């Protein structure tokens, strides 16, 4: 028997359960048979057909499961109440604008919903439902096109086919009516807990509703660092449990989970064997964007990795779009992936990796990441860079890349020329993003999602901190001009945030007294502006030593004379600049004592 090839035991050794060792004289005979003079026979290996039998068994079970689902669908259809008036007849279905598309739930028995009893009442009339859906289409079109409602889909059809998604949409679009929003939100959370936590339901309806509920959670969430992070975890978990983060195993599996046979005929490729339907692919991309955003915003490790299949899903939507916004999802995904690479490269939040790098190595890494950002911008469709969100994403991402220059700088220390250039690029990029945001109208800011507001908060912090470091090292007339410009920007944004807050709680005295996401942001920005002005004043020489042309702007002088900062914070402390409104240190600010001009 050859030594390099493993051979099974002979019949004699197998029966005795002994080790079969080849004989040294004759390798074709084992040592025991040669010694006893017995015939050494190797039994023929039987061909295993387990995999083939297993495949056949799986196909057999899938066939039976599909038959059971068809029976359940017919039973649900026969048991449904036909009592609908002519004015309440459902319009075209939400499932990719197909009139006869089926529900995407897993067809578990549904408990009676309070939501169905609310729709059509004085609290939520049908006409108001149509108006709210129209508002949602506008809000989603320019910010988060992950869940799209076709123009031909009416409220009755949406409520019947996607009840949880309908509730989430009515919640976020009712921000001007806190009483209605509170009732809808309480019912939504109750049904979400019953369906997902108690009954373990999993459906595209639940997943899409969570995505919508998360994106505009600033209208009803007090502290960002708690509830949205849990919602992101639920979104990722449900996407994984539904299986849409992996390729469909078969057409049967695709039908069971998303039930979108009508969608498959619309694509230019065999989607059933490569991808899920349009809605599932958008939801998969949304799960990654939401989870990565929460990881970056809270400076925690990511909990949904970037995969090749995720990139292929975005590319397939761009190549075969159902709506124009599908072409931009690949760029939204690329922007978030670049931000994730920046966080992994510099280990944002801990600073341990930064201590191991000198300025020259940091500059090389920054240039490499900045080049990727430039390539991302170059790949955008013609004219897209002028469309607000992508324009802001580019400069916000560029400021985030150069944020590393702010780390490790001690108060009173003059940064090196290399580090100063990185810090200046951080200020320049954040200034361009901030300038674009200040030009937005009240109505445009009203449609913003929570990710837009948190990115704005990051831009403000990076712009302010980089300017403070530059001013501490090189005090000049430019420092006074920067302070004057930044103060005007912060005043404008504070006024917009407060006006949005007043509109959201108008007519509800109890809501006016409660804490609110936008109220906290406005207070925080007001504090940052005051502290920044104090830093500029301390860095400049005394007024009698300054030539007339270098005197601080009048607006700064007036602000410094009338406002005192109630606490002393090291401007070089990173913990101050990230998540200030969500940490326990925020309680020390006693924001109730601050003037809300």
Residue-level pLDDT at 283: 94
pLDDT greater at residue 77 or residue 232: 232
The size of the chain, in residues, is 597
When pLDDT is averaged across residues 249-274 and rounded to a whole number, the result is 50
**Phi–psi pair at 30, nearest 5 degrees:** -75, 160
Residue-level pLDDT at 22: 87
The rounded percent of the chain whose pLDDT value lies above 90 is 23
Q: What share of the chain is helix, strand, coil (3-state, %, to 5)?
A: 65, 0, 35
Inter-residue contact 47 to 58 (CB < 8 Å): no
Inter-residue contact 537 to 552 (CB < 8 Å): yes
**pLDDT tens digits for 493-512?**
999 999 998 888 887 777 77
Residue 117 CB-half CA count within 13 A: 6
Q: Take residue 476 and report the two structure tokens written for it.
A: 């000049």
What does the DSSP assignment read for 2-35? -TTS--PPPHHHHHHT----B-SS-TTSBHHHHH
94, β-bridge pairs? none
Helix, strand or coil for residue 124?
strand
Q: Take residue 182 and report the two structure tokens written for it.
A: 């509170």
Inter-residue contact 235 to 214 (CB < 8 Å): yes
Q: Take residue 325 and report the two structure tokens written for it.
A: 């916004």
Residue-level pLDDT at 84: 39
Query: Whole-model pTM?
Result: 0.72
pLDDT level of residue 196 (50, 70, 90 thresholds): confident
Residue-level pLDDT at 273: 62
Residue-level pLDDT at 390: 83
Angle between helix 359-378 and helix 388-402 axes, rounded to 10 deg: 170
- Does residue 202 register a pLDDT over 80? yes
The rounded percent of the chain whose pLDDT value lies above 70 is 70
**pLDDT tens digits for 330-345?**
999 999 999 999 988 8
pLDDT level of residue 348 (50, 70, 90 thresholds): low
- Does residue 325 register a pLDDT over 80? yes
**pLDDT tens digits for 354-387?**
566 788 888 999 999 999 999 998 888 876 555 6
- Does residue 398 register a pLDDT over 90? yes
* Separation of alpha carbons 457 and 434, rounded Å: 10
pLDDT level of residue 7 (50, 70, 90 thresholds): confident
Helix, strand or coil for residue 582?
helix
- Does residue 589 register a pLDDT over 70? no
pLDDT level of residue 223 (50, 70, 90 thresholds): low
- Does residue 147 register a pLDDT over 50? yes
Inter-residue contact 339 to 400 (CB < 8 Å): yes
**pLDDT tens digits for 47-74?**
665 566 666 677 767 676 666 766 665 6
- Helix residue ranges, H only, 29-177: 31-36, 50-79, 114-118, 126-142, 155-161, 163-173
**pLDDT tens digits for 159-185?**
888 899 999 999 999 988 888 888 888
Lowest mean pLDDT among 424-433, 464-473, 496-505: 464-473
Mean per-residue pLDDT of the chain: 75
Among residues 429, 559, 540, the alpha carbon closest in space to that of 494 is found at 559
Residue-level pLDDT at 422: 92
**pLDDT tens digits for 504-561?**
888 777 777 777 888 888 888 888 888 888 877 776 655 544 444 444 444 434 433 3
The gap from C-alpha 322 to its chain's centroid, in whole angstroms, comes to: 22
Alpha-carbon torsion angle 311, 314, 316, 317, nearest 10:
180
Q: Take residue 324 and report the two structure tokens written for it.
A: 């124009």
Residue-level pLDDT at 578: 41
Residue-level pLDDT at 53: 65
Q: Which domains does the chain have, with CATH numbers?
A: 1-45 (4.10.240), 114-220 (no CATH), 328-593 (no CATH)
Residue-level pLDDT at 509: 76
């Amino acid at each position: 028997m050859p030594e390099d090839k493993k051979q099974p035991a002979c019949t004699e050794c197998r029966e005795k359960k002994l080790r079969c060792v080849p004989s040294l004289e004759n390798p074709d005979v084992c040592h025991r048979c040669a010694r006893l003079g017995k015939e050494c026979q190797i039994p023929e290996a039987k061909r295993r057909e387990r995999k083939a039998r297993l495949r056949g068994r799986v196909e057999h079970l899938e066939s039976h499961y599909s038959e059971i689902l068809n029976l359940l669908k017919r039973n649900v259809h026969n048991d449904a109440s036909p009592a609908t008036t002519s004015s309440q007849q459902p319009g075209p279905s939400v499932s990719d604008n197909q009139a006869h598309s089926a529900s995407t739930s897993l067809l578990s028995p549904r408990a009676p919903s309070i939501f169905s009893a609310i729709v059509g009442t004085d609290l939520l009339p049908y006409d108001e439902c149509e108006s709210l859906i129209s508002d949602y289409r506008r809000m989603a079109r320019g910010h988060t096109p992950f869940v799209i409602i076709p123009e031909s889909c009416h409220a009755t059809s949406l409520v019947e086919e996607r009840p949880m998604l309908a509730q989430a949409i009515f919640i976020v679009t009712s921000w001007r009516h806190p009483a209605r929003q509170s009732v809808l939100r309480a019912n939504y959370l109750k049904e979400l807990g019953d369906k997902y936590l108690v009954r373990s339901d999993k459906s595209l309806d639940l997943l899409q509703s969570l995505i919508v509920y998360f994106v505009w959670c600033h209208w009803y969430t007090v502290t960002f660092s708690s509830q949205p992070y849990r919602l992101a975890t639920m979104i990722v978990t449900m996407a994984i449990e539904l299986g849409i983060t992996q390729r469909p195993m078969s057409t049967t599996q695709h039908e069971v989970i998303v039930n979108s046979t009508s969608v498959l005929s619309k694509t230019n490729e065999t989607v059933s064997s490569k991808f899920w339907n349009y809605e599932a692919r958008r939801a998969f991309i949304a799960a990654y964007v939401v989870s990565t955003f929460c990881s970056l915003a809270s400076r925690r490790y990511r909990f949904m990795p970037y995969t090749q299949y995720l990139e292929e899903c975005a590319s397939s939507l761009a190549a075969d779009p159902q709506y124009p916004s599908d072409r931009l999802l690949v760029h939204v995904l690329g922007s978030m992936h670049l931000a994730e690479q920046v966080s992994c490269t510099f280990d944002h939040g801990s600073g341990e990796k930064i201590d191991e790098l000198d300025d020259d190595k940091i500059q090389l890494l920054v240039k490499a990441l900045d080049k990727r950002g430039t390539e991302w911008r170059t790949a955008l469709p013609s004219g897209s860079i002028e469309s607000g969100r992508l324009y802001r994403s580019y400069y916000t991402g560029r400021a985030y890349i150069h944020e590393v220059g702010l780390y490790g700088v001690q108060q009173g220390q003059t940064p090196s020329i290399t580090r100063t250039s990185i810090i200046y690029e951080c200020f320049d990029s954040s200034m361009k993003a901030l300038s674009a945001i200040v030009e937005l109208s009240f109505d445009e800011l009203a449609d913003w999602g929570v990710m837009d507001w948190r990115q704005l908060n990051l831009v403000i912090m990076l712009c302010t901190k980089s300017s403070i470091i530059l001013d501490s090292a090189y005090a000049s007339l430019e420092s006074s001009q920067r302070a004057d410009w930044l103060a005007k920007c912060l005043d404008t944004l504070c006024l917009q945030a407060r006006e949005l807050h007043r509109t959201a709680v108008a007519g509800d005295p109890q809501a006016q007294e409660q804490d609110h996401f936008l109220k906290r942001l406005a207070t925080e920005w007001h504090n940052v502006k005051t502290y920044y002005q104090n830093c500029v004043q301390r860095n400049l020489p005394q007024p009698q030593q300054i030539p007339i042309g270098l005197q601080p702007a009048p607006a700064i002088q007036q602000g410094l004379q009338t406002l005192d900062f109630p606490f002393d914070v090291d401007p070089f402390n990173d913990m101050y600049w990230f998540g200030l409104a969500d940490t326990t240190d925020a309680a020390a600010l006693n924001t109730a004592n601050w003037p809300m001009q």
